[in-house]
Structure 1
Amino acid sequence: MIKPQIPLLLISFFTLLIMLPKSTSARLHPRRDGTPPSSSSGGGDGKFCLSWRLGVEANNVVAWGTVPRECQEEVESYMIDGQYEEDLDLVMQQIFSFLNSIPLSFDSFDAWVLDVDDTCLSNLYYYKTKRFGCEPYDPVGFRAWASKGGSPAISPVLQLFNKLLEKGFKVFLVTGRDQETLGQATINNLHNQGFIGYQRLILRSGEYKGQSAVRYKSDIRQKLEKEGYRIWGNVGDQWSDLRGNSTGNRTFKLPNPMYFVP
């Protein structure tokens, strides 16, 4: 009996199928040191950048200094083409659902904590000049930007802020901005954007200089609890806003793939 011969072209096709998953997997994953694959090695495609952004939001990718250069277009598109707003709206739906379930007391000690930068106020215009986070953090440049007081309100958070006040909650705005250099500019910016009626704006004072955001904000929340406040909700765009001690009954992470605050 004459055995049928498999055409050489078909053999090459099946060989390619066997090899493809391995090469694709290598292309999508960062190097062992945590950095993304370089453009010359085939990195920077949309799938890697989507995975990187998910890892950032889930706090699985930590201690990163800048957005991978391959992902600038992905982050830019995410922030300005509508998906950021969609994700933000989903988080806000969860916040309002929780808010409406809280049995408010009558002692005026029910409280919420809100971060300021990229929670209450947007710095998107500033980060556009930094290639949406691809350039290293520039404290001098950011201070110059913040001192102008031109950061617009993030509209859904302003709505939340007003709803909290309407229901009778005490709202504390806690920010890592320096009290000495940015205190008045921050107050003016918040007021100009409609954040009026909060219980207290807390900025980083000298005693917290050099401390991590986690330690600083934990200490502030602990002090609020010692004053008798019950923190029902804690909202921020960084995991360092939400980790540590006295985090509140529930925490809510707003999307922000442009920078990481430890």
Structure 2
Amino acid sequence: MASLILQIFLLLVIVATSQGSPVSDPPLQIHLLRSRLGSGGHHIPGVSCLSWRLGVETNNIIGWKTVPEECEDYVGHYMLGKQYREDSAVVTEEAFTHAKTFKLAGDGKDIWVFDVDETTLSNLPYYAKHGFGAELYNSTAFNQWVLTGKALALPESLKLYRKLLSVGIKVVFLTGRTEDQRAVTSHNLNAAGYHVWEHLILRSSSYSGKTAVFYKSSERAKLEKKGYRIIGNIGDQWSDLLGTSVGNRTFKLPDPMYYIS
């Protein structure tokens, strides 16, 4: 039986968005993931992919360019499987627990900062087709995907978004996407269920050559200068959460597919 199981290609669940309110379980979309012996958490000689992912998520492994080739299927199975969703739920539930501890000023200046890719929107259909990070990032192919406007909502983030709005916290989207992608990003967010926001901030050409940490720190500082109070800040990359003006508390969603400095 074990031998038979190892020969089966697993069909795993990918996140999808649910429209309207109240929030319900999202419809499922299935993508085929090619499986090799050693994926799905099994031991790979010389490489512990579980330990590698822990190092990535804790920011102890930094500056990496690609997922170790031996770990690509492991990362794929994690991202398409229930563990990724469960891990995301722990983060977003803790985020709302934090948000509820605040007595809001009532002046409309209490905000929550969300990253976009792999935070509010999920690009897993793209990665299911193009691979899970073992190859160098292909900006041309990814930007072509972005322009389709078909990224899905990460359901756990969508639930957090709706809960924050329900208690009077406004939302700001701060993304590494460039200014020329504003229209498609706005349309995609709406289609995925994010219908209201205070600001949608995209990266302008003035940040050319600057790190994501510098860019996002600078934009958060601008928000604070306008009188906004950042109650919370959530993203899938450490560069979303490090630097200055990070907010009262930060929350890191899982993402072992790529690293942005």
Aligned length, in residue pairs: 220
Q: Is the 8 A contact 1:46 1:74 kept in 2?
A: no
Q: Is the 8 A contact 2:93 2:160 kept in 1?
A: no
Partner of 2:21: none
Partner of 2:200: 201
Partner of 2:113: 113
| 3-state SS, counterpart of residue 171 of structure 1 | strand
Instruction: Say whether residues 1:66 and 2:62 are aligned partners.
Output: no
What is the distance in 2 between the residues matched to 1:140 and 1:107?
42
What is the distance in 1 between the residues matched to 2:256 and 2:225?
34
Partner of 1:142: 142
Q: Which amino acid aligns with 2:48?
A: F
| 3-state SS, counterpart of residue 184 of structure 1 | helix
Give the CA deviation at 1:129.
2.4
What is the distance in 1 between the residues matched to 2:136 and 2:44?
19
Query: Which is strand-richer, 1 or 2?
Result: 2
Q: How does 1:240-251 map to 2 (within 5 A)?
A: 240-251=239-250
Name which one, 1 or 2, has greater alpha-carbon Rg.
1
Unmatched tracts of structure 2, length 5 or more: 1-37
Instruction: Say whether residues 1:184 and 2:196 are aligned partners.
Output: no
Give the CA deviation at 1:191.
0.7
Q: Is the 8 A contact 1:57 1:256 kept in 2?
A: yes
Query: Which is helix-richer, 1 or 2?
Result: 1
Give the CA deviation at 1:89.
1.1
Q: Is the 8 A contact 1:113 1:234 kept in 2?
A: yes
Partner of 2:159: 159
Partner of 1:218: 217
Q: Is the 8 A contact 1:45 1:70 kept in 2?
A: no
CA RMSD for the aligned pairs? 1.5
Q: Deviations over 1:189-246 (max 9, x none)?
A: 0011111110010000111122110000000000000000110100000000000000
Q: Which amino acid aligns with 2:198?
A: Q
What is the distance in 2 between the residues matched to 1:81 and 1:233?
27
Partner of 2:7: none
TM-score by length of 1: 0.81
Give the CA deviation at 1:92.
1.5
Instruction: Say whether residues 1:99 and 2:107 are aligned partners.
Output: no
Q: Deviations over 1:105-126 (max 9, x none)?
A: 1111111100000000001111
Give the CA deviation at 1:49.
0.6
Q: Which amino acid aligns with 2:112?
A: W
Partner of 1:80: 80
Q: Which amino acid aligns with 2:54?
A: L
Q: Deviations over 1:72-110 (max 9, x none)?
A: 121111111211011111112211211111111111111
Unmatched tracts of structure 1, length 5 or more: 1-38
What is the distance in 2 between the residues matched to 1:45 and 1:100?
46
Give the CA deviation at 1:46.
8.9
Give the 4+ runs in structure 1 shifted more than 6 A. none
What is the distance in 1 between the residues matched to 2:47 and 2:89?
24
How many percent identity over aligned positions?
49
Q: Which amino acid aligns with 1:198?
A: W
Partner of 1:3: none
Q: Which amino acid aligns with 1:159?
A: K
Give the CA deviation at 1:169.
1.3
Cα separation, partners in 2 of 1:81 and 1:250, compared to 1, 3 Å: same
